[in-house]
Amino acid sequence: MENAAKIVVSLTDLPNYKDNFTEPLEKLGIINIEDLGQTLGDDEKTKAMIAAVKGLGPKTVEGWKKALTTPKEITENIAEETEATTVPEESEKDSEPITEEVLPSDKEPEEEPSPPVVEEEIPAPIPAPKFERNLFCTTGDLTEIHRATIDLLKMNGSKKKGLMNSLEYAATRLTGTGMEVFVNKEIDYPLLIASKGEGGIVLWGHLDTERLAGMKKKKQGNLQGDMIVGRGAANMKGAVAVMLCAANRLVSWHVPFSIVLTTDALDQQRGAEAMANSPVIRRSKGIIMMTPTGLRPIIGQYGYAAILVRTHGDDAVMKMASFLKNLTNLMTDTPEGLSVKTGLIRGGKRKMPYAPAVSCEVVMEIETKDTTDSALATIEGLLAGTEHDIDILCRSEMAEFDRTSDLIASVTELTNREPVFEMIHSEASKIVPTNQKIVIWGPGDVANSRSNQEYITLSDLEKTYEAILSLIDSSEPLENE
């Protein structure tokens, strides 16, 4: 009877009700129990309430629903129990003979009372009920994802100041959710680690952006139809915005998960190397590298390197031309084994355009189905006998992930797309020696990320948000929460 009295008196008597819920609920017109009951009877109004009230999650709302529908049942049960217990009290003398007749027939008078005692003291284990959570992206969620994407685009992740601003922005948002946040600012490759518990899925992203002069004067975050346009939108400010916005809801579900953000994924990837042996990676049940893949799961990557080749001496430009011609012929003969994309070529001096160039250089990307070392050795062989040097700007090694992991199975089922082994540049190769439960999967297209019209679609961000919620929804709840 005490429990029944606590359930339906006022909003503050609801289970897990917090004082900070009152003001946003009043703004929604929810002043008393009757108002709340009407809201909970409408799914759309319930979703809007969860989105508007910070810290209010589907689990708490489900508890409120039960609290509002339970009083009648409890009253009926109490009436039945009262009626049942009143009879024995008034006829104790009649009850005793009945007991004496039953016990001798069983011939076990001492053992009969024990089962109820055992059931009360050591109840049979009951599986914990699965939280009923809202796995859908609401209009409020999508608006917040859009806003966070624009915020990140405006910080210009191709410069150190922009990177530090992005890192502090992410740290502030994640700290506000209640996650434990650590930011390493002392090294040349700052990184962020945010965790709720341990052993859950790790969402991995990066904040650095490719330098692309053509995007400099364009308005960052401009919305064109369904597209958010801006340098780094696809690779990968949109995905990072999804992580930041999903964190608040995931924390309210009390499930373990972590977010890792690096700042040199497009360069030396030293942040990933530093993270490789951390407890967050070692104990994780899986890592989602949210590199743009068009939402297609990737279960392995081939070798990659970005290099600068420089030729020296007389006729340096002609030496470079000869090298590039030989490289083109090689790629024609072995189209499946090696892919090379040539970028900037420079030679000579602008103020002396007709003077012989004593050096010439070209920046290129190499993707190979063999090891990265093998591809670089091929380049060296084509330059044999020519005065030259090669600078490796960044590289990632061939890596294959655990194809039998629960994470890959879940992503495959969720996306209904078969995972592939592909040429892609990611930080996965740095952490695969520690944990092979990795999948590369994220919104946007890598090719689009090199365009002057780089963009990410709101519909892809919405799908990504809902997929993350669904994947982490299967995690076991944290203890003591």
pLDDT digits (tens, 9 = 90+) for 431-460: 999 999 999 999 998 778 777 788 999 999
pLDDT over 70 at 3, yes or no: no
Q: How far apart are CA 14 and CA 68, in angstroms?
A: 9
Whether 468 is covered by a domain: the verdict is yes
How far is residue 452 from each of residues 166, 215, 234, 293, measured CA to CA in Å? 22, 5, 12, 19
pLDDT over 80 at 91, yes or no: no
Determine the structural domain holding residue 317 and report its residue range. Answer: 305-396
Whether 125 is covered by a domain: the verdict is no
Q: Do 262 and 427 touch, CB atoms closer than 8 A? A: yes
**For 66-77, how does the pLDDT look when each residue is reduced to its tens digit (9 = 90+)?**
777 644 443 344
- Exposed, middle or buried: residue 351 (CB in 10 Å: 0-12, 13-18, 19+)? exposed
Contacts by residues 385-391 (CB-CB < 8 Å, ≥ 24 positions apart)? 386/311, 386/319, 386/322, 386/323, 387/311, 387/312, 387/313, 387/319, 388/309, 388/310, 388/311, 388/312, 388/319, 388/323, 389/310, 389/312, 390/307, 390/308, 390/309, 390/310, 391/307, 391/308, 391/310
Q: Which of 69, 88, 105 is the last residue of a domain?
A: 69
Q: How far apart are CA 295 and CA 443, in angstroms?
A: 5
Q: Are residue 243 and residue 289 in the same domain, yes or no?
A: yes
Residues in the chain: 481
CATH code, domain carrying 21: 1.10.150
Whether 209 is covered by a domain: the verdict is yes
Q: Are residue 204 and residue 223 in the same domain, yes or no?
A: yes
Q: Are residue 354 and residue 402 in the same domain, yes or no?
A: no
Could you identify the residue written with the tokens 């944990």?
435
Cβ count near 59 (within 10 Å) = 16
Q: Are residue 407 and residue 293 in the same domain, yes or no?
A: yes
Q: Which of 364, 379, 396 is the last residue of a domain?
A: 396
**For 217-235, how does the pLDDT look when each residue is reduced to its tens digit (9 = 90+)?**
567 888 888 999 998 999 9
Q: Are residue 313 and residue 285 in the same domain, yes or no?
A: no
Provide the pLDDT for residue 119: 46
Per the prediction, the chain carries an average pLDDT of 82
Provide the pLDDT for residue 69: 65
Provide the pLDDT for residue 288: 97
Separation of CA 262 from chain center: 14
Q: Are residue 169 and residue 283 in the same domain, yes or no?
A: yes
* Residues with Cβ within 8 Å of residue 87, at least 6 apart in sequence: none
Q: Are residue 289 and residue 312 in the same domain, yes or no?
A: no
Provide the pLDDT for residue 148: 96
Whether 153 is covered by a domain: the verdict is yes
Whether 182 is covered by a domain: the verdict is yes
Q: Are residue 148 and residue 264 in the same domain, yes or no?
A: yes
Provide the pLDDT for residue 30: 85
- Give the CB-side neighbour count of residue 255, counting CA atoms within 13 A: 27
Separation of CA 331 from chain center: 38
Q: What is the mean pLDDT of residues 371-384?
A: 92
Q: Are residue 230 and residue 367 in the same domain, yes or no?
A: no
Q: What is the mean pLDDT of residues 27-52?
A: 83
Q: Do 260 and 204 touch, CB atoms closer than 8 A? A: yes
Q: Three-class SS of residue 312?
A: strand
Q: Are residue 355 and residue 417 in the same domain, yes or no?
A: no
Q: Do 243 and 196 touch, CB atoms closer than 8 A? A: no
Q: What is the mean pLDDT of residues 241-267?
A: 94
Could you identify the residue written with the tokens 């070529």?
345
Q: Are residue 234 and residue 247 in the same domain, yes or no?
A: yes
Q: Which of 302, 288, 289 is nearest to 427 (CA)?
A: 289
Report the number of distinct structural domains present in the chain.
3
pLDDT band at residue 87 under the 50/70/90 scheme: very low
Q: Are residue 344 and residue 415 in the same domain, yes or no?
A: no
Q: Which of 396, 430, 449 is the last residue of a domain?
A: 396
